[in-house]
């Protein structure tokens, strides 16, 4: 079995209790997308609702990477929560723009900008206690 030529590195930090920052480094493609998916699923399992994806060190992303982002976006919206892409590399930004993903998933230039957007989002429907 061949060794991945461009392994993916995902570092997870928690800037807030319900917010996971995933700093992704490397090629996000069919060979590596499951690594990102694993980290996102783990954070969902631990109750995170907001996901910040720092893609500044991702020089290439194919449809597998986009599908992972869109899948977690749908799951987060149901919580309710959110997904924000931070500082995508130029080639990745182009793919996000050409496919329309950047129209659905907000793109921020910094972690602080993304956190401000999280703060500005409504918390979802309020269910009164009985």
pLDDT tens digits for 106-129? 999 999 999 999 998 876 544 444
Dist. CA 84–CA 102, nearest whole Å? 10
Crossing angle of helices 90-99/63-77, nearest 10°? 70
Q: Is the pLDDT of residue 101 over 90?
A: yes
3-state secondary structure of 91: helix
Confidence band for 81, pLDDT divided at 50, 70 and 90: very high
**What value does the mean pLDDT take over residues 65-71?**
94
- CA-nearest of 51, 49, 48, 14 to 124 is 49
**What value does the mean pLDDT take over residues 69-96?**
95
Report whether 27 contacts 59 (CB < 8 A).
Answer: yes
Q: Is the pLDDT of residue 3 over 90?
A: no
Q: Is the pLDDT of residue 62 over 80?
A: yes
**Sign, Cα dihedral of 39, 40, 43, 45:** negative
Domains of the chain: 9-120 (3.30.750.24)
pTM of the entire predicted model: 0.87
Give me the phi and psi of 116, to 5 degrees please.
Answer: -65, -40
């Amino acid at each position: 079995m061949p060794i991945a030529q461009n392994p993916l590195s995902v570092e997870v930090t928690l800037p807030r209790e319900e917010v996971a920052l995933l700093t992704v480094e490397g090629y996000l493609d069919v060979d590596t997308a499951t690594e990102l998916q694993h980290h996102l699923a783990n954070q969902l399992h631990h109750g995170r609702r907001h996901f910040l994806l720092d893609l500044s060190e991702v020089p290439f992303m194919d449809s597998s990477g986009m599908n992972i982002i869109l899948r977690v976006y749908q799951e987060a919206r149901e919580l309710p929560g959110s997904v924000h892409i931070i500082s995508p590399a130029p080639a990745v930004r182009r793919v996000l723009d050409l496919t329309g993903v950047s129209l659905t998933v907000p793109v921020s230039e910094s972690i602080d900008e993304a956190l401000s957007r999280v703060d500005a989002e409504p918390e979802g429907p309020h269910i009164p206690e009985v």
